[in-house]
Amino acid sequence: MQGNHTYTGSMFITQVMKQLLQTIIFVSTLFSLTACQEAVQLDDGPDDVLAFESIALGHQGSVRDTIEVILRSEAELLEALQKVTPLAEVPEVDFQQYMVGMIAVPTESGGYIVEVKSVEQTGDEITVNYVLNVPAQDCITVQALSLPHQIVQIRRSEGNATFVQERERYLCGM
Protein backbone atom coordinates (compact mmCIF):
# COMPACT_ATOMS: atom_id res chain seq x y z
CA MET A 1 0.00 0.00 0.00
CA GLN A 2 2.84 2.31 0.89
CA GLY A 3 4.43 1.77 -2.56
CA ASN A 4 1.21 2.63 -4.28
CA HIS A 5 0.88 5.86 -2.25
CA THR A 6 4.44 6.89 -3.19
CA TYR A 7 3.65 6.23 -6.83
CA THR A 8 0.60 8.52 -6.61
CA GLY A 9 2.70 11.17 -4.88
CA SER A 10 5.33 11.05 -7.63
CA MET A 11 2.58 11.31 -10.26
CA PHE A 12 1.24 14.34 -8.41
CA ILE A 13 4.68 15.98 -8.30
CA THR A 14 5.20 15.26 -12.01
CA GLN A 15 1.81 16.77 -12.80
CA VAL A 16 2.56 19.91 -10.73
CA MET A 17 5.97 20.25 -12.40
CA LYS A 18 4.36 19.96 -15.82
CA GLN A 19 1.79 22.67 -15.01
CA LEU A 20 4.50 24.88 -13.52
CA LEU A 21 6.63 24.48 -16.67
CA GLN A 22 3.63 25.27 -18.91
CA THR A 23 2.86 28.39 -16.84
CA ILE A 24 6.49 29.57 -17.05
CA ILE A 25 6.52 29.06 -20.84
CA PHE A 26 3.18 30.89 -21.21
CA VAL A 27 4.26 33.86 -19.06
CA SER A 28 7.66 34.17 -20.77
CA THR A 29 6.00 34.02 -24.22
CA LEU A 30 3.46 36.64 -23.19
CA PHE A 31 6.22 38.85 -21.77
CA SER A 32 8.37 38.54 -24.90
CA LEU A 33 5.41 39.45 -27.13
CA THR A 34 4.55 42.57 -25.15
CA ALA A 35 8.16 43.63 -24.63
CA CYS A 36 8.95 43.55 -28.38
CA GLN A 37 5.72 45.14 -29.52
CA GLU A 38 6.09 48.35 -31.54
CA ALA A 39 3.70 51.19 -31.09
CA VAL A 40 1.31 51.03 -34.02
CA GLN A 41 -0.43 54.22 -35.02
CA LEU A 42 -3.79 53.65 -36.65
CA ASP A 43 -4.89 55.91 -39.47
CA ASP A 44 -7.91 57.64 -38.04
CA GLY A 45 -8.59 59.47 -41.29
CA PRO A 46 -8.54 63.20 -41.80
CA ASP A 47 -8.21 65.70 -38.96
CA ASP A 48 -10.97 67.81 -40.50
CA VAL A 49 -13.51 67.57 -43.32
CA LEU A 50 -13.73 70.97 -44.99
CA ALA A 51 -17.18 72.10 -46.08
CA PHE A 52 -17.49 72.95 -49.78
CA GLU A 53 -20.13 74.09 -52.23
CA SER A 54 -20.20 73.92 -56.01
CA ILE A 55 -20.31 77.43 -57.49
CA ALA A 56 -19.74 76.71 -61.20
CA LEU A 57 -19.69 73.91 -63.79
CA GLY A 58 -18.80 73.82 -67.44
CA HIS A 59 -17.49 71.83 -70.40
CA GLN A 60 -15.44 74.34 -72.38
CA GLY A 61 -12.16 76.15 -71.97
CA SER A 62 -8.98 77.24 -73.65
CA VAL A 63 -6.41 74.82 -72.17
CA ARG A 64 -5.47 71.24 -72.95
CA ASP A 65 -3.79 70.51 -69.62
CA THR A 66 -5.44 69.27 -66.44
CA ILE A 67 -6.04 72.05 -63.93
CA GLU A 68 -6.15 71.17 -60.23
CA VAL A 69 -5.67 74.33 -58.14
CA ILE A 70 -6.63 75.99 -54.88
CA LEU A 71 -7.13 79.74 -55.29
CA ARG A 72 -6.89 81.99 -52.24
CA SER A 73 -7.51 85.44 -53.74
CA GLU A 74 -9.82 87.17 -56.19
CA ALA A 75 -6.86 87.93 -58.47
CA GLU A 76 -5.97 84.21 -58.67
CA LEU A 77 -9.60 83.33 -59.39
CA LEU A 78 -9.92 85.92 -62.16
CA GLU A 79 -6.72 84.64 -63.78
CA ALA A 80 -7.92 81.01 -63.57
CA LEU A 81 -11.31 81.92 -65.06
CA GLN A 82 -9.48 82.99 -68.24
CA LYS A 83 -8.87 79.26 -68.89
CA VAL A 84 -12.43 77.89 -68.47
CA THR A 85 -15.92 78.86 -69.59
CA PRO A 86 -18.47 78.09 -66.83
CA LEU A 87 -22.12 77.61 -67.84
CA ALA A 88 -23.19 80.49 -65.56
CA GLU A 89 -21.59 83.49 -63.92
CA VAL A 90 -19.34 82.63 -60.96
CA PRO A 91 -20.72 84.24 -57.79
CA GLU A 92 -18.59 86.57 -55.68
CA VAL A 93 -16.41 84.78 -53.10
CA ASP A 94 -15.47 86.14 -49.66
CA PHE A 95 -11.78 85.16 -49.64
CA GLN A 96 -11.51 86.05 -45.93
CA GLN A 97 -13.70 83.01 -45.15
CA TYR A 98 -13.32 80.83 -48.25
CA MET A 99 -10.90 79.61 -50.86
CA VAL A 100 -11.76 78.19 -54.28
CA GLY A 101 -10.91 74.81 -55.77
CA MET A 102 -10.92 74.46 -59.54
CA ILE A 103 -10.62 71.19 -61.41
CA ALA A 104 -10.66 70.93 -65.22
CA VAL A 105 -9.82 67.76 -67.15
CA PRO A 106 -9.41 67.87 -70.95
CA THR A 107 -11.16 65.08 -72.85
CA GLU A 108 -11.48 63.99 -76.49
CA SER A 109 -15.29 64.02 -76.45
CA GLY A 110 -18.28 65.31 -74.52
CA GLY A 111 -20.20 63.55 -71.78
CA TYR A 112 -17.51 63.70 -69.10
CA ILE A 113 -18.40 65.28 -65.75
CA VAL A 114 -16.07 66.46 -62.95
CA GLU A 115 -17.57 66.07 -59.47
CA VAL A 116 -15.85 66.96 -56.18
CA LYS A 117 -16.72 64.36 -53.53
CA SER A 118 -14.86 65.62 -50.43
CA VAL A 119 -12.24 68.04 -49.17
CA GLU A 120 -10.24 66.82 -46.18
CA GLN A 121 -7.38 68.19 -44.13
CA THR A 122 -4.75 66.16 -42.30
CA GLY A 123 -2.08 68.29 -40.66
CA ASP A 124 -1.05 70.88 -43.24
CA GLU A 125 -2.19 68.74 -46.21
CA ILE A 126 -5.50 69.41 -47.94
CA THR A 127 -6.85 66.57 -50.09
CA VAL A 128 -9.52 67.23 -52.71
CA ASN A 129 -11.16 63.97 -53.78
CA TYR A 130 -13.07 64.09 -57.05
CA VAL A 131 -14.61 61.79 -59.62
CA LEU A 132 -14.27 62.08 -63.37
CA ASN A 133 -17.53 60.55 -64.59
CA VAL A 134 -16.86 58.84 -67.93
CA PRO A 135 -19.65 58.04 -70.42
CA ALA A 136 -19.98 54.37 -71.36
CA GLN A 137 -19.99 53.22 -74.98
CA ASP A 138 -23.80 53.21 -75.02
CA CYS A 139 -23.84 57.02 -74.57
CA ILE A 140 -24.22 59.40 -77.50
CA THR A 141 -21.69 62.20 -76.98
CA VAL A 142 -20.33 65.16 -78.91
CA GLN A 143 -17.15 64.17 -80.73
CA ALA A 144 -15.18 67.33 -79.98
CA LEU A 145 -12.51 68.43 -77.54
CA SER A 146 -14.06 69.21 -74.20
CA LEU A 147 -12.90 70.63 -70.86
CA PRO A 148 -15.31 69.46 -68.15
CA HIS A 149 -14.71 71.45 -64.97
CA GLN A 150 -16.08 72.21 -61.55
CA ILE A 151 -15.35 75.19 -59.33
CA VAL A 152 -16.05 74.83 -55.60
CA GLN A 153 -16.02 77.25 -52.70
CA ILE A 154 -14.24 75.69 -49.70
CA ARG A 155 -14.01 76.83 -46.09
CA ARG A 156 -10.66 78.64 -45.91
CA SER A 157 -7.73 76.67 -44.56
CA GLU A 158 -3.98 76.82 -44.93
CA GLY A 159 -1.93 73.97 -46.33
CA ASN A 160 -0.68 72.33 -49.49
CA ALA A 161 -3.31 70.80 -51.73
CA THR A 162 -3.31 67.35 -53.29
CA PHE A 163 -5.98 66.25 -55.75
CA VAL A 164 -7.07 62.62 -55.97
CA GLN A 165 -9.00 61.58 -59.07
CA GLU A 166 -11.21 58.52 -59.41
CA ARG A 167 -12.86 57.50 -62.65
CA GLU A 168 -16.37 56.11 -62.73
CA ARG A 169 -18.12 54.95 -65.87
CA TYR A 170 -21.84 55.67 -66.16
CA LEU A 171 -24.38 54.02 -68.45
CA CYS A 172 -26.85 55.97 -70.58
CA GLY A 173 -29.25 53.08 -71.19
CA MET A 174 -29.40 53.58 -74.95
pLDDT at 173: 85
Indicate whether this model's pTM tops 0.85.
Answer: no
Q: What is the mean pLDDT of each run of 10 residues along the chain (174 residues)?
A: 53 62 61 54 76 97 96 98 96 98 97 97 96 95 95 96 97 84
pLDDT at 8: 59
Query: Residues 134, 169: contact at Cβ < 8 Å?
Result: yes
pLDDT at 2: 52
CA 61 to each of CA 68, 74, 82, 99, 105: distance values in angstroms, whole numbers, following the listed order: 14, 19, 8, 21, 10
Query: Residues 70, 99: contact at Cβ < 8 Å?
Result: yes
Quote the CA–CA distance of 21 and 133 in Å, as a whole number.
Answer: 65
